[in-house]
Amino acid sequence: MTTSRREVLARTAAAGAAIAFTGSISELFAGTAQAVTKDGYGPLVPDPDGLLDLPKGFSYRVLSREGDELRSGEGTVPGNHDGMAAFPGRRGRVHLVRNHENRMDDPTTVPTVEGLTYDPEARGGCTALELGPDGRVSGERVAIAGTSTNCAGGPTPWRTWLTCEEIEVKAGEEGHAKDHGFIFEVDPYDPGRTGAVPLKAMGRFQHEAIAVDPRDGTVYETEDAFAHPFGLFYRFHPNRPLGGRGSLRAGGVLEAMRVPGVPDLSTVDEAGTSFDRVEWVKVPDPLAAETPIRNQDFGRKGITHGQKIEGCYWGGRSVYFVCSFAKVDDGSGADHFGQVWRYDPDRRLLTLVVVFGPDTDVQLPGEEPDNIALAPSGGLMVCEDGEGAQHVFGVSRHGDVYPMARNRQNIGTPTEPAWGELAGVSFSPDEDTMYVNVYEPGTTFAVTGPFRG
Prior bond of 78 cis (ω within 30°): no
Q: Which pLDDT score is estimated for 7?
A: 36
pLDDT higher than 70, residue 14: no
Q: Which pLDDT score is estimated for 53?
A: 97
**Least reliable range by pLDDT among 95-104, 178-187, 285-294, 385-394:** 385-394
> pLDDT averaged over the chain?
88
- The 10s digit of each residue's pLDDT in 405-423 is 999 999 999 999 999 999 9
Per-residue pLDDT averaged across 75-93, rounded?
A: 97
Q: Which pLDDT score is estimated for 380?
A: 78
Task: Look at residue 203 and tell me if it is in a domain.
Answer: yes
Question: Residue 374's pLDDT band (boundaries 50, 70, 90)?
Answer: confident
Question: Residue 310's pLDDT band (boundaries 50, 70, 90)?
Answer: very high
pLDDT higher than 60, residue 276: yes
Task: Look at residue 453 and tell me if it is in a domain.
Answer: no
- Asked if 212 and 141 touch (Cβ cutoff 8 Å), the reply is no
**Least reliable range by pLDDT among 6-10, 174-178, 202-206, 350-354:** 6-10
Buried-exposed string 405-414: b where 16+ CB fall within 10 A, e elsewhere: bbbbbeeeee
Q: Which pLDDT score is estimated for 386?
A: 65
pLDDT higher than 60, residue 11: no
Total of domains in the chain: 1
Q: Which pLDDT score is estimated for 397?
A: 72
**How far is 113 from 141, CA to CA, in rounded Å?**
10
Question: Residue 39's pLDDT band (boundaries 50, 70, 90)?
Answer: low
Q: How many residues does the chain have?
A: 453
**How far is 447 from 44, CA to CA, in rounded Å?**
13
pLDDT higher than 50, residue 400: yes
pLDDT higher than 50, residue 446: yes
- The 10s digit of each residue's pLDDT in 250-264 is 999 999 999 999 999
pLDDT higher than 80, residue 384: no
Task: Look at residue 79 and tell me if it is in a domain.
Answer: yes
Per-residue pLDDT averaged across 379-407, rounded?
A: 81
Range of the domain at 266: 3-448
pLDDT higher than 50, residue 366: no
Going 237 to 243 to 244 to 250, the CA torsion angle's sign is negative
**How far is 46 from 202, CA to CA, in rounded Å?**
44
Per-residue pLDDT averaged across 41-59, rounded?
A: 96
Task: Look at residue 146 and tell me if it is in a domain.
Answer: yes
Q: Which pLDDT score is estimated for 370?
A: 61
**Least reliable range by pLDDT among 36-45, 66-75, 386-395:** 36-45
pLDDT higher than 90, residue 226: no
Instruction: Count the Cβ atoms, other than its own, within 10 Å of residue 1.
Output: 16
- Asked if 285 and 198 touch (Cβ cutoff 8 Å), the reply is no
CATH number of the CATH domain containing 76: 2.120.10.30
Per the confidence metrics, is the pTM higher than 0.85?
Answer: yes
